[in-house]
């Protein structure tokens, strides 16, 4: 259909909202209540436009105006401006924005005056200043002055809704984004308006917002009413260096922006990736970052004669390693790495292992089987049945849970335009009807459990077998759901994959082909899928990281098993972990926020990491650290830097990660390496995310201990760390 | 202590009015609130939580709904909660003076309860009794209409003795047997109502 | 065959017309009028039999033919509204009676509910039958305790008598009816807010489209009508569409319950044909004003007030004529404002009402009305007015009018703009000298 915006004709698909028509035509209207991934509301009344449409005569011809050839269809204008976010554009519609309409310009200026009526204008002390939608729009569309000669509304200015989110009720402009977000996205009715009319404010009666996905409201709040309490008063928006990158806390790989100031990581906000996390991230990903700028190792440490670890230069550390490994057959050196290392780092490590002919090579955590993903996150969101087996998504892949909930409310993904995701997709509605009967959860209780229409308590480890051969009515119902669905997706979690073998993979393949289900097996670590393509598992005669104590000597990168190798032990980590404290030489590492590289998420999407401006002294990523290790061992370094590692990767697995774009790209590796693995229980919040110097983060400690709201299965102490 | 645990038939009756679906369950929210408030005079936080569980929602949502509507209370009111209509039609009949009189003689401000626990007052908006203004409502019991000074005094005197008069339901204008609109006293009104027509035969008679 | 058609009888536009007799209100105030035996003795539940005999589509045609328009205020053609329901989609349908009578100056429905509940029940059965709805809800405003009790009692009586439930009167039609009490919110009179309230939510109005006939209560096709509309449907099925169409004017047909309040001899509810003049209501029926008047609110507080002039008094009370005079017929709730009362104070009372009742969803209403307009009026009436205040009120009104999510903000502007238009000098006095032209006076007295 053709729509005319301020005289510019644009061709748009039917169903487009007027606000998206305006933006498609390169125009602009201010808006506060509309949000890309939430239902259009029409509450803030800022996006007013004048609009009119042609009408048809009873004979089907257009009512015309003008004479002869100059005649054009007469446009019947609405008598008053309309909210463009809740109005559907129609064929031949004409729209005037403030650019061409005095009426609209005045209406918007007047509305801005109302919006600012009770707003405190404490911008100089507001964390939102400089990145505030209200501030920006007030400059663009406001009168520049208020005629409201009365005292403004006074309300609570420092009201913590949880340890992570703080509310300033005076600043709230009642756009309802946060309330709609909780109801529509994580499906939690935990925040709502209280009172009515001019007295309306938002509050929770739940004793605090639940940890999980609460931080997203700080992103979508168009003013400084809801703020990230972790980043509170840490910097002004124009002072931050913004680095778009990928979160590697779990295998979802959400798009994030890391905000650093003066070399400190102060804040993480969600980035948009329509294919992965839309615009949402989990609370761990958002708030679990203070460790990155606290108590970092900034120089190598070498153990002296007195047995104390003392700061040293890299050269001294290389010398110490050289000395410590003297006489050790190179093939006896264990090489172990955390599963959030990048593909490039993995390629460098694999190449060094090859060069040393090392046997004891491993990454952690990983499963004993590799099940290639056949479903994407978009497939999950648009499925008509999802069966979750033995997964605790809140710990393993939180945003996957959001995509499943999206499926429950109909899997309506907002349309995409040249100007980006639709600002107001009119198919999204408030309080959407949900289809719990489309979701089955088999395993233990979890947050998702409450949303599922089919719930089967099962020991995760035999869940797959039981689903393949259903032995109860409940399981038969789940099978019927799978069999009857057109686009089913099976999701397997750690409980289902723990100890799984090749026969399980065969069983799954059979079940998938019988039911037509696509599959996502949640990888054990953030980049386990990618690292599985590299020969980073114990080789013939080699030991895994679970048997570290038996390995004669080891280089351990960003793993914290809490023990040392049998002999000389080199630890490469960001902090002085328990393991590092036992090491002979400690090399400072960078966090994934500081890396350039590539990871592969649970759906097989290659996603880029970009380095944020965080001070970490002489810390180095694994590639450069391996160069130092190679020097100490007297062998040729596998790669001298990122470029070299990319070349290695190209050579070993045939993928050019230099070309991976921001949104990422799906990729299937031709070959994967598997080996038996030690059991592992995934945990999202880890000890290392605990902040040392701020008391609010005491609560994170509770999360780590499993004491607060996150359901964490009691688990025996496991070797290895994870982050 | 649960309010509804012992009242399963009542709860079942309320739920039976609405569809057997999550949305239908939520519809029972207002009737359940009304039950609690009529019994206890207000809705406490524990009752909010209980009702939330019954309706499949959260205490946040229940509080949100309670606070939206003006007749629910989250704090105890007096034994007699006097709600005085203050909107224009009653104001034209002196409701402001009625209000001032109540506040003064009962020595109670909105939001307070009188010292003897008997009275609380609330200004409310149009209660749909404009033909019999001024008026007030007591608790959830009913209307007291045409509340002039002497009637007000009689009501307060009775309430002080805990003898609540029955609510009135006067119908100011009715229709007499002859089809004329008359006053409640039977007095015919309208200047030319002679020879009123008989209504046509009921069409149903032919069917 | 005759050569010329008989001249159609002149429509009835006065209750003094000997052909007119009250029907909606005929039994209000009679002893036991709310009971089923009384109702049946007076011809009750015969109209529904006629409806069943006609078939549902014919019922809709009959209502269309009668010219009945919604009596809740908007005056939308009832038969047309009923025909918007997707009649053959096989989904459950709902009908809702809007008995949330909250518009200041309106009090007709309360008497219909409490004094003649079966008339409403019958109208809803008829409407449910026509619209293939098997469940109906009567949303009664929370404060109408007595009305809700009478309504429930009548529903139980009707159920016992087989008039509600399965296979009503052997027609094969199933219909259940329930009362749902509100809890004090004017906005619930807005149909989509009412549906939210019925669903146990905050009563914020919903987006339209989708319209209730497509996706209403619980997302299913729903039609909402006023109490009087359903009752009128009962009478139309009793006396026929032609009878109904024989009253009123060309576009406003039938009878209407008019309410009159303020200082008149006999305030109350009067059933009159549409097209009856204000003068007839005020002088002939209500016995005339008790003191000198200056303004008439013609149809509930949101309808712009009109000056007390002969031409207004001689205006027929029908949708078109009142609109032509610059206001709206609304609910037919007429209020008279005496000359000796300050119009700014009277308007302040209503502005405060709308400010109190704003749901807070949209900015112009929450901030413009609830926060700002109320304080502008408070400022004026408390003697703190300044020159320019009236101009500011007008400009704010311009920024509010037509910009809000629902009609509540516009409803507030009805009395604001009309009072400024007709009584500007009273505003100017308060803004200029801080003194009202008509100071407060004592009004509370025994009846």
Across the A:C interface, residue pairs with CB atoms under 8 Å apart total 104
CA–CA separation, A164 vs A214, rounded Å? 8
Q: Please answer yes or no on whether B28 and C30 come within 8 Å at the CB atom.
A: no
What element of type H or E holds B144? strand B142-144
Question: Integer distance in angstroms from the first to the last C-alpha of chain C?
Answer: 62
Pairwise CB contact (< 8 Å): A80 & C402: yes
Cβ pair C363:A114 closer than 8 A = yes
CA distance between the termini of chain B:
59
Is B28 within the bounds of a domain? yes
pLDDT of residue B189: 63
Q: Which subunits have 3 or more CB–CB pairs within 8 Å of chain C?
A: A, B
Residue, of A723 and B112, whose pLDDT is higher:
B112
* pLDDT the model gives residue A145: 87
pLDDT digits (tens, 9 = 90+) for A73-122: 999 999 999 999 999 999 999 999 999 999 999 999 999 999 999 999 89
Burial code (b: 16+ CB inside 10 Å, e: under 16) for C71-108 equals bbbbbebbbebbbebebeeeeebbbbbbbbbbbbbbbb
Beta-carbon pairs below 8 A across chains B and C: 259
Q: Minimal Cα distance from C93: which residue of B? A: B19
B15 and B63 share one domain:
yes
pLDDT tens figures, A618-659: 999 999 999 999 999 999 998 989 999 999 999 999 999 999
Cβ neighbours of A181 in B, within 8 Å: none
Residue B44 lies in a domain: yes
Q: How far is A341 from chain B, CA to nearest CA, in Å?
A: 42
Alpha carbon of A200: minimum distance to chain B alpha carbons (Å): 9
Token digits of residue A663? 């949104």
Q: Is A162 on the interface with B (CB under 8 A)?
A: no
Residue A540's pLDDT is: 94
- Which residue in C has a C-alpha nearest to residue A79's C-alpha? C402
Instruction: Note which residues in 37-96 of chain B have CB less than 8 A from chain C.
Output: 55, 57, 64-65, 68-72, 83, 86-89, 91-96
Instruction: Determine whether domain A2-100 maps to CATH 3.10.20.
Output: yes
Q: What per-residue confidence (pLDDT) applies to B179?
A: 64
Question: B38 and B63: one domain?
Answer: yes
Distance between CA atoms of A202 and A572, rounded to whole angstroms? 47
Contact B23 C266 (CB under 8 A): no
Question: B-chain residues within 8 Å CB-CB of A192?
Answer: 60-61, 63-64
Give yes or no: residues B148 and B122 share one domain: yes
- Asked if residue B156 and residue B178 are part of one domain, the reply reads no
The shortest C-alpha distance from A83 to chain C (Å) reads: 8
* CB atoms B190 and C201 under 8 Å: no
Output the CA–CA distances (angstroms, integers) from residue C410 to B89, C76, C392, C422, in the order listed.
20, 18, 17, 18
Interchain CB distance below 8 Å, C405 and A174: no
Residues C188 and C186: their CA atoms lie apart, in Å, by 5
Q: Among partner residues C363, C392, C395, which is closest to A45 by beta-carbon distance?
A: C363
CATH 3.90.1150.10, applies to A301-364+528-600+618-666: no
CA gyration radius, chain A: 28
pLDDT class for A68, splitting at 50, 70, 90? confident
Chains contacting chain B through 3 or more C-beta pairs under 8 A: A, C
Q: Under an 8 A CB cutoff, do C366 and A195 touch?
A: no
Q: Which two tokens stand for residue A144?
A: 């520049």
- Print burial letters for B21-30: b (CB count within 10 Å at least 16), e (below 16): eebbbbbbbb
Neighbours of A150 (CB within 10 A): 14
Query: Which candidate from A48, A113, A197 shows the least CB-CB separation from C359?
Result: A197
Of B68, B95, B116, the one marking the end of a domain is B68
- In this prediction the pTM is 0.94
Are A585 and A297 within 8 A, CB to CB?
A: no
Q: What is the pLDDT along chain B (207 residues), one digit of tens a residue?
A: 799 999 999 999 999 999 999 999 999 999 999 999 999 999 999 999 999 999 999 999 999 999 999 999 999 999 999 999 999 999 999 999 999 999 999 999 999 999 999 999 999 999 999 999 999 999 999 999 999 999 999 999 999 999 999 998 888 777 766 666 777 666 666 533 443 444 555 554 333
C115 touches chain B (CB under 8 A): yes
Pairing outcome for strands C135-140 and C94-99: parallel
Distances (CA, A) of C19 to A528, C15, C324: 89, 8, 28
Residue A44 has pLDDT above 80, yes or no: yes
Assess C101–B contact: CB distance below 8 Å, yes or no.
yes
What's the domain range around B45?
Answer: 8-68
Identify whether residues B53 and B114 lie together within a single domain: no
Q: Which residue has the tokens 């979690």?
A: A493
Instruction: Assess contact for B190 and B180: CB atoms under 8 A.
Output: yes
Sequence-ordered list of residues with C-beta below 8 angstroms from that of A277, at least 6 positions apart, any chain: A252, A254, A255, A270, A271, A399, A402
- Neighboring chain C residues of A174 at a CB cutoff of 8 Å: 360-361, 363, 366
Q: Classify strands A361-364 and A333-338 as parallel, antiparallel or unpaired.
A: parallel
Is residue B1 within 8 angstroms of chain C, CB to CB? no
Name the domain count of chain B: 3
Instruction: Give the Å distances, CA to CA, from A572 to A382, A425, B88.
Output: 42, 48, 78
Q: What is the 3-state secondary structure (H, E, C) of chain C?
A: CCCCCCCCCCCECCCCCCCCCCCCCCCCCCCCCCCHHHHHHCCCCCHHHHHHHHCHHHHHHHHHHHCCECCCCCCCEHHHHHHCCCCCCCCCCEEEEEECCCCCCCCHHHHHHHHCHHHHHHHHHHHHHHHCCCEEEEEECCCCHHHHHHHHHHHHHHHHCCCCECCHHHCCCCEEEEEEECCCCHHHHCHHHHHHHHCCCCCCCCCCCCCCCCCCHHHCCEEEEEHHHHHHHHHHHHHCHHHHHCEECCCCECEEEEEEECCECCCEEEEEECCCEHHHHHHHHCCCECCCEEEEECCCCCCCCEECCHHHHCCECCHHHHHHCCCCCCCCEEEEEECCCCHHHHHHHHHHHHHHHCCCCCHHHHHHHHHHHHHHHHHHHCCCCCCCHHHHHHHHHHHHCCCCCCCHHHHHHHHHHHHHHHHHHHHHHHHHHCCCCCCCCCCCCCC
User: C29: nearest CA in chain B?
Assistant: B174
Residues B64 and B84 in one domain: no
Position A519 scores a pLDDT of 97
Query: At which of B68, B95, B117 does a domain end?
Result: B68
A189 touches chain B (CB under 8 A): yes
Cβ separation B48–A193 shorter than 8 A: no
pLDDT of residue A55: 94
- For residue B7, say if its preceding peptide bond is cis, omega within 30 degrees of 0: no
pLDDT at C4: 63
Pairing label, strands A2-5, A94-96? parallel
Q: What is the CATH number of the domain that holds B32?
A: 1.10.10.1590
Mean pLDDT (chain C, rounded)? 95
DSSP of A252-287, one letter per residue?
Answer: T--EEEEEEETTEEEEEEEPPBTTTTBT---HHHHH
Calpha distance A196→A218 (Å, rounded): 23
C398 chain-A contacts, CB cut-off 8 A: 106, 110
Helix (H) or strand (E) run with residue A193 in it: strand A192-194
**Would you state the pLDDT for residue B196?**
41
Name the token pair of A109: 């200026």
Which of C40, C133, C200 would best serve as a mutation to test chain B binding (most B beta carbons within 10 A)? C200
User: Does residue B166 lie in a domain region?
Assistant: no
Report CB contact under 8 Å: B64, A204: no
Q: Which residues pair with B120 in a beta bridge?
A: B81
Q: How far apart are alpha carbons C378 and A679 in whole angstroms? A: 71
CA dist A387 and A515 (Å) reads: 12
- When pLDDT is cut at 50, 70 and 90, the band that residue C140 belongs to is very high
The enclosing H or E element of A491 equals strand A488-492
- Which of C219, C358, C363 has its CB closest to that of A197? C358
> What is the pLDDT at residue A5?
97
- Of residues C219, C360, C404, nearest to A198 (C-beta): C360
A-interface mutation test, from B58, B74, B125, most A Cβ less than 10 A away: B58
pLDDT number for residue C5: 61
Q: Which residues of A touch C368 (CB under 8 A)?
A: 114, 117
**Pair (B85, B123) in one structural domain:** yes
Which one of A198, A409, A427 makes the best mutation probe of the C interface by having the most chain C beta carbons within 10 Å?
A: A198
Q: Is domain A377-521 classified as CATH 3.40.228.10? A: yes
Is residue B183 included in any domain, yes or no? yes
Could you give phi then psi for residue A39, rounded to 5 degrees?
A: -70, 140
Put simply, the chain C residues between 372 and 431 with a CB less than 8 A from any chain B CB are none
The span from the first CA to the last CA of chain A, in angstroms, equals 50
Write the pLDDT tens digit of every residue in C93-139.
Answer: 999 999 999 999 999 999 999 999 999 999 999 999 999 999 999 99
Reported confidence tier of residue C88, pLDDT bands at 50, 70, 90: confident
Report if residue B168 sits inside a domain.
no
Give residue C290's pLDDT.
94
Tokens for A394, please give them: 């809140």
The angle at the Cα of B144, spanning C153 to B182, to the nearest 5 degrees, equals 75
Task: Report the residue of C363, C375, C384, C402 to disrupt the A interface, i.e. the one with the largest count of A CBs within 10 Å.
Answer: C363
For chain C, what is the radius of gyration of the CA atoms? 22
> Which residues are within 8 A (CB) of A510 and not within 5 positions of it... i.e. 6 or more apart?
A468
> How far is Cα C173 from Cα C59, in angstroms, rounded to an integer?
14
Is the Cβ of B62 closer than 8 Å to some Cβ of chain A? yes
Long-range contacts of A539-542 (CB under 8 A, 24+ apart): A539/A353, A539/A358, A539/A359, A539/A361, A540/A359, A541/A359, A542/A358, A542/A359, A542/A360, A542/A361, A542/A362
Residues B126 and B150 in one domain: yes
Specify whether the backbone of C32 is left (phi greater than 0), alpha (psi in -120 to 50) or beta.
left
Mean pLDDT of all residues in A419-438: 95
Q: Does A205 touch chain B (CB under 8 A)?
A: yes
In a domain, B3, yes or no: no
- For A421, the token pair is 């995701």
The residue ranges of every structural domain in chain A are 2-100, 301-364+528-600+618-666, 377-521
pLDDT at A723: 41
Chain C positions touching A42 (Cβ under 8 A) are 207, 362, 405
pLDDT at B205: 39
DSSP-assigned beta bridge partners for residue A587:
A572
User: Same domain, yes or no, for B125 and B196?
Assistant: no
Residue contact C285–B64, C-beta within 8 A: no
The beta-carbon neighbor of C202 closest among B65, B97, B98 is B65
- Cβ neighbours of A43 in C, within 8 Å: 361-363, 405
C270/B184 touch (CB, cutoff 8 Å), yes or no: no
pLDDT score, position B207: 34
């Amino acid at each position: 259909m053709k729509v005319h915006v301020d005289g510019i004709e644009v061709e748009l698909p039917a169903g487009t909202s007027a606000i998206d028509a305006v933006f498609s035509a390169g125009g602009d209207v201010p808006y506060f209540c509309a949000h890309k991934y939430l239902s259009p509301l029409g509450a803030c009344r800022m996006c007013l436009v004048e609009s009119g449409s042609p009408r048809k005569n009873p004979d089907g011809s257009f009512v015309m105006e003008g004479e002869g050839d100059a005649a054009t269809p007469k446009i019947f204008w609405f008598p008053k401006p309309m909210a463009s976010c809740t109005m559907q554009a129609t064929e031949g519609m004409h729209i005037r924005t403030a650019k061409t309409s005095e009426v609209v310009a005045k209406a918007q200026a007047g509305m801005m005056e109302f919006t600012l009526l009770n707003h405190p204008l404490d911008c100089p002390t507001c964390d939102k200043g400089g990145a505030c939608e209200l501030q920006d729009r007030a400059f663009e569309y406001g009168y520049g002055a208020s005629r409201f000669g009365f005292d403004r509304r006074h309300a609570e200015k420092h009201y913590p809704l949880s340890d992570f989110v703080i509310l300033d009720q005076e600043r709230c402009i009642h756009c309802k984004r946060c309330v709609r977000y909780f109801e529509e996205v994580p499906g939690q009715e935990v925040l709502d308006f209280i009172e009515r009319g001019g007295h309306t404010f938002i509050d929770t009666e739940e004793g605090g917002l639940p940890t999980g996905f609460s931080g997203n409201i700080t992103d979508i709040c168009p003013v400084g009413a809801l703020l990230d309490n972790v980043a509170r008063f840490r910097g002004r928006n124009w002072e931050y260096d913004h680095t778009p990158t990928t979160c590697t806390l779990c295998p979802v790989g959400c798009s994030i922006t890391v905000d650093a100031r003066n070399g400190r990581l102060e804040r993480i906000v969600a980035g948009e990736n329509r294919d992965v996390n839309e615009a949402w991230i989990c609370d761990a990903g958002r708030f679990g970052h203070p460790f990155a700028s606290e108590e970092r190792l900034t120089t190598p440490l070498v153990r002296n004669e007195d047995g104390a670890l003392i700061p040293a230069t890299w050269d001294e550390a290389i010398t110490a390693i050289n000395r410590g490994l003297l006489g050790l057959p190179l093939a006896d050196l264990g090489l172990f790495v955390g599963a959030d290392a990048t593909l490039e780092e993995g390629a460098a490590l694999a190449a060094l292992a090859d060069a040393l002919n090392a046997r004891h090579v491993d990454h952690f955590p990983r499963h004993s089987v590799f099940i290639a993903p056949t479903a994407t996150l978009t497939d999950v969101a648009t499925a008509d049945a999802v069966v979750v087996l033995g997964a605790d998504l809140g710990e393993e892949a939180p945003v996957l849970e959001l995509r499943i909930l999206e499926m429950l409310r109909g899997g309506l993904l907002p349309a995409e335009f040249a100007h980006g995701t639709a600002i107001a997709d009119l198919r999204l509605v408030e309080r959407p009807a949900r289809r719990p009967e489309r979701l089955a959860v088999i395993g233990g209780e979890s947050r998702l459990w409450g949303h599922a229409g089919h719930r089967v308590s099962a020991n995760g480890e035999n869940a797959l077998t039981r689903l393949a051969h259903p032995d109860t009515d409940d399981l038969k119902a789940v099978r019927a759901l799978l069999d009857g669905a057109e686009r089913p997706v099976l999701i397997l979690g750690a409980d289902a994959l723990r100890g799984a073998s090749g026969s399980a993979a065969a069983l799954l393949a059979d079940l998938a082909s019988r039911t037509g289900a696509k599959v996502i097996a949640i990888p054990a670590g953030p980049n386990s899928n990618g690292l599985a393509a590299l020969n980073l598992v114990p080789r013939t005669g080699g030991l895994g990281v679970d048997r570290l104590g038996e390995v004669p000597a080891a280089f351990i990168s960003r793993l914290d098993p809490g023990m040392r190798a049998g002999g000389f032990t080199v630890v490469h980590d960001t902090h002085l972990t328990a393991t590092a404290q036992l090491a002979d030489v400690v090399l400072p590492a960078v966090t994934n926020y500081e890396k350039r590289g590539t990871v592969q998420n649970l759906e097989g999407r290659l996603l880029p990491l970009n380095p944020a401006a965080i001070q970490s002294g002489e810390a180095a990523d694994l590639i450069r650290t391996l160069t130092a290790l190679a020097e100490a061992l007297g062998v040729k370094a596998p790669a001298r830097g990122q470029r070299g590692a990319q070349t290695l990767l190209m050579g070993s697995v045939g993928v050019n990660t230099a070309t991976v774009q921001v949104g990422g790209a799906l990729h299937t590796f031709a070959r994967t390496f598997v080996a038996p693995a030690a059991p592992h229980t995934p945990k999202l919040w880890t000890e290392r995310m605990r902040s040392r110097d701020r008391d609010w983060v005491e609560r994170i400690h509770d999360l780590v201990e499993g004491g607060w709201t996150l359901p964490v299965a009691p688990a025996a102490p496991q070797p290895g760390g994870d982050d | 202590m649960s309010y509804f645990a012992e009242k399963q038939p009542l709860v079942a009756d309320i739920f039976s009015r609405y569809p057997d679906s999550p949305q239908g369950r939520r519809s029972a929210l207002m009737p359940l609130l009304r039950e609690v408030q009529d019994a206890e005079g207000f809705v406490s936080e524990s009752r909010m939580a209980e009702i939330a569980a019954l309706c499949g929602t959260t205490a946040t949502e229940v509080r949100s709904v309670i606070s939206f509507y003006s007749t629910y209370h989250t704090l105890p009111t007096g034994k007699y909660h006097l709600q005085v209509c203050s909107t224009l039609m009653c104001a034209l009949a002196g409701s402001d003076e009625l209000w001032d009189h109540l506040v003064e003689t009962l020595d109670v401000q909105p939001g307070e309860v009188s010292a003897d626990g008997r009275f609380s007052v609330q200004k409310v908006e149009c209660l749909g009794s404009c033909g019999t203004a001024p008026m007030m409502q007591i608790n959830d019991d009913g209307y007291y209409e045409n509340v002039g000074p002497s009637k007000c005094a009689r009501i307060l005197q009775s309430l002080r003795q805990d003898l609540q008069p029955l609510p009135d339901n006067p119908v100011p204008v009715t229709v007499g047997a002859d089809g004329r609109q008359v006053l409640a006293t039977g007095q015919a009104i309208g200047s030319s109502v002679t020879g009123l027509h008989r209504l046509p035969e009921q069409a149903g008679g032919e069917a | 065959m005759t050569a010329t058609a008989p001249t159609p009888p002149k429509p009835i536009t006065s209750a003094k017309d000997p052909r007119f007799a009250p029907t909606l209100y005929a039994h209000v105030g009679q002893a036991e009028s709310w009971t089923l035996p009384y109702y049946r003795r007076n011809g009750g539940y015969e109209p529904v039999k006629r409806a069943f005999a006609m078939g549902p589509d014919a019922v809709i045609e009959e209502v269309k033919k009668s010219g009945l328009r919604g009596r809740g205020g908007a005056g939308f053609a009832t038969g047309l509204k009923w025909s918007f329901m997707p009649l053959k989609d096989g989904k459950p349908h709902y009908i809702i009676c809007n008995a949330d009578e909250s518009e200041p100056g309106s009090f007709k429905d309360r008497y219909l509910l409490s004094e003649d509940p079966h008339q409403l029940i019958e109208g809803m059965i008829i409407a449910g039958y026509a619209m293939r709805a098997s469940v109906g809800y009567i949303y009664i405003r929370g404060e109408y305790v007595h009305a809700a009790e009478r309504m429930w009692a009548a529903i139980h009586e009707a159920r016992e008598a087989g008039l509600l439930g399965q296979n009503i009167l052997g027609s094969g039609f199933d219909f259940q009816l329930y009362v749902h009490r509100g809890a004090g919110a004017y906005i619930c009179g807005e149909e989509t807010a009412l549906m939210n309230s019925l669903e146990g939510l905050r009563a914020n109005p919903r987006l339209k489209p989708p319209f209730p006939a497509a996706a209403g209560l619980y997302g299913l096709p729903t039609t909402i009508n006023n109490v009087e509309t359903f009752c009128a449907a009962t009478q139309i099925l009793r006396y026929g569409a032609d009878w109904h169409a024989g009253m009123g004017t060309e576009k406003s047909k039938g009878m209407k319950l008019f309410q009159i309040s303020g200082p008149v001899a006999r305030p109350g509810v009067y059933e009159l044909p549409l097209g009856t003049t204000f003068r007839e209501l005020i002088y002939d029926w209500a016995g005339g004003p008790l003191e000198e008047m200056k303004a008439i609110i013609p149809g509930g507080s949101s309808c712009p007030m009109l000056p007390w002039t002969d031409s207004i008094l001689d205006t027929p009370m029908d949708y078109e004529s009142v609109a032509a005079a610059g206001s709206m017929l609304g609910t037919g709730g007429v209020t008279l404002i005496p000359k000796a009362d300050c119009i700014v104070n009277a308007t302040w009372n209503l502005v405060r009402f709308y400010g109190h009742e704003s749901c807070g969803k949209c900015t112009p209403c929450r901030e413009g009305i609830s926060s700002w307009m109320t304080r502008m009026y408070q400022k004026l009436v408390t003697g703190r007015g300044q020159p320019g205040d009236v101009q500011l009120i007008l400009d704010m009104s311009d920024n509010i009018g037509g910009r809000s999510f629902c009609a509540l903000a516009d409803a507030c502007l009805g009395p604001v703009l009309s009072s400024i238009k007709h009584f500007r000098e009273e505003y100017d006095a308060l803004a200029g000298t801080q003194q009202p032209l008509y100071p407060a006076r004592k009004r509370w007295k025994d009846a």
